[in-house]
Structure 1
Amino acid sequence: MNKRAEERRKQVLRATLKAISEKGFSVVTLQDIADYADVSKGVISYYFENKEDVFYHLLEWMTDRIFQNEYAAIQKESKAIDKMRAYVNAAFKSPEDNRIFYSVYLEFLAQVNQNERFREVNSNFYKNCWFIGSEIIQKGKSEGIFTNIEVESGSHMIRALIDGCLLQWLMRDDEMLHSYYRDNCYDAIITYLNYKDS
């Protein structure tokens, strides 16, 4: 796919994200997406098979962007404890970004049981999240910290704490609490990992 075509697809996906976040998953139509993208419905049909295909690619694009951003953040740090802080900070990207992602993501999760393609993307997303957690724990083990944590279960729990804190922040509907939940999330993870600052 050439660069112009890829940019047009992303334009449609960004518009779909905005449309779902403002209108809700169940009521968004292809015409809505076209209107938000400022293109004709024919353009959308050229790049995607149908509305479900647009939604599938949106979920894939959103979750891949999050993984890439979070993984890039931990690569900038050398010590495990700094990688963990970078991971949490990247997950708590900004109130606006987190609100849009999680409000739309929750709509997708409501469809997962009925849609095999959505379920597959969601499964891949969590495998990527667990990969990040595993890499941090393994790094910590090599440094002589996080020694009492099993890598697989530990990586699952780290993501559970991140998502749980972000969802609770979302339910509180107060942007000012974003940093509060971010900092408490980090503290909860560090406590769980039984890390003691020497």
Structure 2
Amino acid sequence: MGNKAEKRRKQILKAAFKAVSEKGFHNVTLQDIADYADVSKGVASYYFKNKEDILGSLLEEITENIYIREHAAISQEETATGKLQAYVYAAFASPRDNRKFYRVYLEFLTQANHNEKFRQTNEKFYENCWSIGREIIQLGQQEGTFSDIDVNKASYTIRALIDGSLIQWLMRDNDDLHDFYRDNCFETLSNYLMNKGA
């Protein structure tokens, strides 16, 4: 794909993200996405088959970007505890970024049971998240920092606590609590992985 075509696709996906965040999944039309992108409906249809194709591509892009960012964050650290903290802190990017992402992501999750592409993209996202968790846990066990717990179960628990903490923070609608939930998430996970109890 040429540079111009890739740039145009990204413009349309960015517009789709904004449209879904402001209007909700069901209310967004192909025309809305074109309007947000400041292009004609025909241009949007040239780069994507339909609205579902745009939204499916959007879900792939935002989940892949999150994985890339989170994996890059843990790669900067040497120790398992450092990697765990980097992972949690990358997931808790900022109140603004987390609110934007989860408002759109939760819209997609409501559709996942009825849309095979969304379900598969979400499964791939979680597989990526769990791979980060496994990497951290295995290093911690090699170091003797983390207890000898089941690596797969623990990797599921890490992501569940991160997402659950972020969703609870989002529901409370208070930016001042963002650091509290981030730090509490990291502390709880550290205690769990070291088998110290919560």
Work out whether the TM-score is over 0.5: yes
* CA shift for structure 1 position 146: 1.1
1:27 and 2:27 correspond: yes
Equivalent position of 2:53 in the other structure: 53
Q: How many residues align?
A: 196
Alignment-mate amino acid for residue 102 of structure 2:
Y
Which residue does the alignment assign to 2:181? 181
Match of 1:193 in 2: 193
Taking the aligned partners of 2:6 and 2:46, their CA distance within structure 1 comes to 12
Query: TM-score, normalised to structure 1's length?
Result: 0.97
8 Å CA contact 1:30, 1:41 repeated in 2: yes
C-alpha distance in structure 2 between counterparts of 1:99 and 1:28, whole Å: 19
Q: Taking every aligned residue pair, what percent have the same amino acid on both sides?
A: 61
- Which residue pairs with 1:143 in the alignment? 143
Aligned to 2:93: 93
Consecutive aligned runs of 4 or more in structure 1 exceeding 6 Å deviation: none
Partners of 1:141 and 1:194 lie apart in 2 by: 9
- Taking the aligned partners of 1:192 and 1:43, their CA distance within structure 2 comes to 51
Structure 1 unaligned blocks of 5 or more: none
Q: In structure 1, how many angstroms separate the alpha carbons of the residues matched to 2:41 and 2:67? A: 30
CA distance in 2, matches of 1:80, 1:195: 15
Match of 1:62 in 2: 62
The SS at the match of 2:78 is: coil
How far is the alpha carbon of 1:195 from its aligned partner?
Answer: 6.1
1:158 matched to 2:161? The reply is: no
Deviation of the 1:96 alpha carbon = 0.9
In structure 1, the partner of 2:129 is 129
SS at the partner of 1:156?
A: helix
Please state how far the C-alpha of 1:148 moved relative to its aligned partner.
2.3
SS at match of 1:145: coil
Could you give the per-residue CA deviations for residues 113-162 of structure 1, whole angstroms, max 9, x where no partner exists? Answer: 11101000000000000000000001111111113221100100000000
Partner of 2:118: 118
Q: Which residue of 2 aligns with 1:169?
A: 169
SS in structure 2 opposite 1:26?
coil
Report how far residue 6 of structure 1 moved.
1.0
Q: Please, what TM-score do these two structures have when normalized by structure 2? A: 0.97
Contact 1:145–1:195 (Cα < 8 Å) also in 2? no
Unaligned runs of 5+ in 2: none
What are the superposed Cα offsets for residues 15-51 of structure 1, whole Å, 9 maximum, x if unpaired?
Answer: 1001110111100011111111111111110110000
Give me the CA root mean square deviation.
Answer: 1.0
Map of 1:10 onto structure 2: 10
